Amino acid sequence: MRIIFTAIALLIIYQTAILFGAVPFGTGRDNVETNCITSENWRYKKSLPDVILVGSSKTNFIDYDVLGPKFFHLGYGGQGCLTGLEILHKSRHIPKLILVEVSDTLQWPANTQCVNLGTSEYAIGDWILPMQHRYEPCGVLLHALCPQQIPNDFSREKLIAIQTHQLSIPLREDRRLQLSKNIARAKMMMNDLRSRGATVVLFDIPVERSVSETQFVREASEFVNAQFSTADFAKINYPSSLQHLRTRDGTHLLPSDGTAFSLWLGEALKKL
Amino acid sequence: MLFNTLEFGLFFVVVFALYYSPLLKNWQTKFLIAASFVFYSWHQPQWSILLVFSIVLNAFVSWKIASSADRSYRLKWAIVCVAINVLLLFLFKYASLLGFVAAKLSHSSRLAEIVSDVMLPVGISFYTFEGISLLVDSYKNRNREERQNPAGFPQHLKNTALFFSFFPHLAAGPIVRPYQFFPQIERKEFSNIQWNFVIETLIVGYFFKNVVADNLVVHTSGVLTDCGSFSSINDIAALLGYSARIFSDFAGYSLIAIGLAAALGYQLPPNFNFPYRSQSLAEFWHRWHITLSTWIRDYLYIPMGGNKKGEMRTYLNLIAVMFLGGLWHGGKIGFALWGLFHGVLLCAERVLKLNRANHNVWIISSRILCTFVLVTIAWLLFALPLHLVPHYFASVIANGKFSINYQHVFLISLFSAPVIVWHLCDLLREKQIVFPGKVFALGSMLFLIVTDSGVPQDFVYFQF
């Protein structure tokens, strides 16, 4: 019994520390955890943001300090915009402006766990705060002791080369079918969000040039862009000067390039 | 049904409550058999038939053997039934390998597809070995109390059914011997439960599985299969982490099985005895998956002559036994090579007489380190498909200039630390130093199970 009491005492102490703000949010220790934390950040947000960016992990590497506190993002690693759209679709309150990343990442369907975590009526973490993913002790330790670092040039080159090699394949018919299905679902949700008063704008984030020129990304992007006509959906396209931004691994922007993209995005949104 | 799922938690609570209820006081064994079949059929109901067949066959033949005084008659029955057991195991376990070979010979990809679709019935490797030990022990008169059982064959069938199907050890061991299990089959009382043992064992088991092993999966297997994209340090860290993961996964599973069995009044043998503090590979095999290694020793190595027929024969026996032990894990060339690797190194240890005791701390430490490194390198054959193993070594050599992902190294260190501490505790215990703050440590483990469990994964040994 003493063991169980000790565990309960530790839970109470940790919960108290969280309530008093003594525990910072942790970092996801892997993709699954990071995605869960993204959903929790939406679930437990203090106020509704003005603008939300919905997309893949590319969205996580934009400089949100530049964009300001009214911006929020639902970017999911290994997934596309569908997870974020499903969350907004099921949420009672939605922001005024929704930016949706449309790219080859639309091939990935929504993740049920992330959607549920962001929208379900009840979650155990609502009452027992230590059971929220963002307060997992190892994630908190990781965040405090070991910040994410930027790969050196050698690693970058290698990682970009690997990704370029892996994406040098044609867009298979089954993937094309999956894309069509996902696009139809995305359109349905975007129309619903618009009918609820939100403005939906499409956008994309640049990737490494060699990656964007691979057969798969090229064919998938062309296919996706053809499905979203400009007559139906407003889209902001990044200028050619931003086409050659540098990335960590072929897909995710380096901090300085993330800042450059954010500055442009902020300006582009002002013009809307 | 997996031990680390909510559905199992509910299942166990219901079984536990009914098992000790006055209603089922006289039906405990039958109830436990029924519950075990529900457990087994949860995801693979079709294979229950195979389990029933195995139970009936082995119960009938072992009864026949134990009831007869005619030695040649007993031997005949034993040989036939052991052969059937081995054949069944072989057919299911090596179906994909056989299919691959047959397809290569006949140039038919359809054949390979059909055979590779044959699923491996969960636990077949474990209950087949238990069946063989039941037959051999009956032949050798080790199950005397069964032979003298006045209730006759129905009672023996019931006992055998529980021996095979007892759900805490059904899916992945520990491999139990008839002489250990049969005498325990009797009415159990709630008041006799050793609660301290049950709670401590379950907490440590679930901690190793849910917190250590499940959190290490992404940072070990994920990195090893994509080793070309990581730095040499990260690749090495991933392999070291895999070593910690496979231990915590299987040791965790075994501890959970032992704890659950103890809650139901049964004692299962220990399966792990701090294997990573072994000073030699021979010692490692006395400490790792103990129930399998002792089974192989008793039913394979000793009948083959063991170390009683000269040096050369001993080496041959060691290599053959380790090779078969490797193949027991499945029909992959990697497993066979893993067994051979261990067999050859065990022989080398014997030749170089590295097993001899030494009291120098530095020599002991370096032996422990060397053994750990060798065992860990061999795990590569478990962790990766064979064709990726050379690629791993090439990446370790070539990726020195890659930036080190410190988050990855930090996480591997963080989640592997409990495995190191666990082994250090045994050293303390050996020096008769009482581990301070045991209650706090177990309480913290429980706290971490609640707050820090990884994404639930299958147990590694379920695939064997």
**A162 in B contact zone (CB under 8 Å):** yes
Out of B111-115, B172-176, B373-377, which region has the weakest mean confidence (pLDDT)?
Answer: B111-115
Cross-chain Cβ contact A3/B203 below 8 Å: yes
Are B402 and A2 an interchain contact pair (Cβ–Cβ within 8 Å)?
no
pLDDT for B113: 66
CA distance linking residue B408 with residue B229, whole number of Å: 13
pLDDT of residue B309: 83
- The pLDDT score that the predictor gives to residue B307 is 84
A149·B403 Cβ contact <8 A: yes
pLDDT at B464: 63
CA distance B393 to chain A (A): 17
CA dist., res. A154 & res. A249, Å (int): 11
- Higher pLDDT residue, B117 or B4? B4
> What is the nearest CA distance from A226 to chain B, expressed in angstroms?
34
- Among the partner residues A3, A137, A138, nearest to B446 by beta-carbon distance: A3
Partners of B439 on chain A (C-beta within 8 Å) are 2-3, 6
| The A97-101 sheet, strands edge to edge | A71-76, A51-56, A97-101, A199-203, A234-235
Q: pLDDT tens, B168-220?
A: 998 887 999 998 999 999 899 999 999 999 999 999 999 999 999 999 988 89
For residue B150, the model assigns a pLDDT of 57
pLDDT at B440: 93
In this complex, do A155 and B448 lie within 8 Å of one another by their Cβ atoms? no
Asked if the model's pLDDT at residue B114 lies above 70, the reply is no
Percent of chain B with pLDDT over 90: 55
CA B323 to chain centre: 17
Q: Do A6 and B440 touch (CB under 8 A)?
A: yes
What pLDDT shows up at residue B142? 64
Range name among A170-184, B3-17, B324-338, B360-374 with the lowest pLDDT average:
B324-338
∠ CA B111-B117-B120 to the nearest 5 degrees? 130
User: Between the CA of residue A101 and those of A60, A85, A115, A205, what are the distances in Å?
Assistant: 12, 10, 17, 7
| Residue in A11, A141, A154 closest to B402 by CB | A154
Neighboring chain B residues of A141 at a CB cutoff of 8 Å: 414
Burial class (CB in 10 A: 0-12, 13-18, 19+), A231: exposed
Name the phi and psi angles at A235, rounded to 5: -140, 140
Confidence of residue B116 (pLDDT cuts 50, 70, 90): low
pLDDT class for B401, splitting at 50, 70, 90?
confident
Reading the block at residue B22, the tokens are 């006055």
Residue B342 designated active-site: no
The C-alpha atoms of residue B303 and residue B233 are separated, in whole angstroms, by: 45
pLDDT digits (tens, 9 = 90+) for A91-134: 989 999 999 999 888 999 999 999 999 998 888 888 999 899 99
Q: Tell me the shortest Cα–Cα distance from B46 to chain A, in angstroms.
A: 30
Measured between CA atoms, the residue of chain A closest to residue B451 is A131
Chains A, B: CB contacts within 8 A come to 95
Q: How confident is the model at residue B151 (pLDDT cuts 50, 70, 90)?
A: low
How close A159 gets to chain B, by Cα (Å)?
A: 6
Cα–Cα distance for residue pair B247/B284, rounded to 1 Å: 12
Give me the half-sphere count of Cα atoms (radius 13 Å) on the Cβ side of residue B44.
17
Cβ-contact B96, B114 below 8 angstroms: no
Out of B156, B169, B219, B329, pick the active-site residue.
B329
The closest of A210, A200, A191 to A250, measured between CA atoms, is A210
The chain B residues in contact with chain A (CB within 8 A) are 199-200, 203, 215, 218-219, 222, 228-229, 231, 399, 401-403, 405-407, 410-411, 414-415, 439-440, 442-444, 446-448, 450-452, 455
Query: Predicted confidence band at B66 (pLDDT cuts at 50, 70, 90)?
Result: confident
pTM as predicted: 0.89
Angle value at C-alpha B133, between B310 and B460, nearest 5 degrees: 95
Mean pLDDT computed over B413-421: 94
Nearest to A138 among B199, B444, B452 (CB): B452
Residues of chain B contacting residue A152, judged by C-beta atoms under 8 Å apart: 401-403
Mean pLDDT of successive 10-residue stretches along chain A, which has 272 residues = 92 93 85 91 90 93 90 92 94 92 90 92 88 90 85 88 92 91 93 92 91 92 87 85 86 91 90 78
Q: 10 Å Cβ neighbour count for B126?
A: 23
Chain A interface disruption, residue of B447, B453, B455, most A CBs within 10 A: B447
Q: Do A155 and B443 touch (CB under 8 A)?
A: no
Q: Are residues A151 and B402, on separate chains, in Cβ contact within 8 Å?
A: yes
This complex has an ipTM of 0.86
Q: What is the pLDDT of residue A81?
A: 92
Q: Which chain B residue has its CA at the smallest distance from A146's CA?
A: B407
- pLDDT tens per residue, range B207-218: 999 999 999 988
pLDDT (0 to 100) of residue B249 = 93
